[in-house]
Copies of this chain bind each other. A is one copy, B any other.
């Protein structure tokens, strides 16, 4: 529940923040700022790009959303908080979640703070 998550993490509840969070939860398609801005403005009240950036920073800070930076293109945002990796389609550039797997044992020893895998290929639609 969004209200509850905001209260719990101390994120101030504004319509803009609510709509952004709602969109990320409903359509888990790794939206970019541009897409979120368009979606929120289509469905609801007016929201500036700057506010979408501000909102996303707040949500990332609060741990409600993760930021995915791939290939130097626009950042994408993901409300899936389970540990997972990412797949990028060579053809259409879409991003999909991939089930989590750990580092091999010999690497695990080295105590990295974080591990993230990026997998590439053609997605089902593009094959």
* Copies of this chain in its oligomeric complex: 2
A24 to B108, CA, bound (A): 30
CB pair A117 B115 closer than 8 Å: yes
A112: contacting residue among B69, B87, B106, CB under 8 A: B87
A104: contacting residue among B104, B106, B111, B122, CB under 8 A: B104
**Which of A67-93 touch B at CB < 8 Å?**
69-72, 75, 87, 90
CB pair A90 B113 closer than 8 Å: yes
For residue A116, CB closer than 8 A to chain B, the reply is yes
7 residue pairs bridging A and B, Cβ less than 8 Å apart: A90-B113, A101-B107, A112-B119, A112-B120, A112-B121, A117-B117, A118-B118
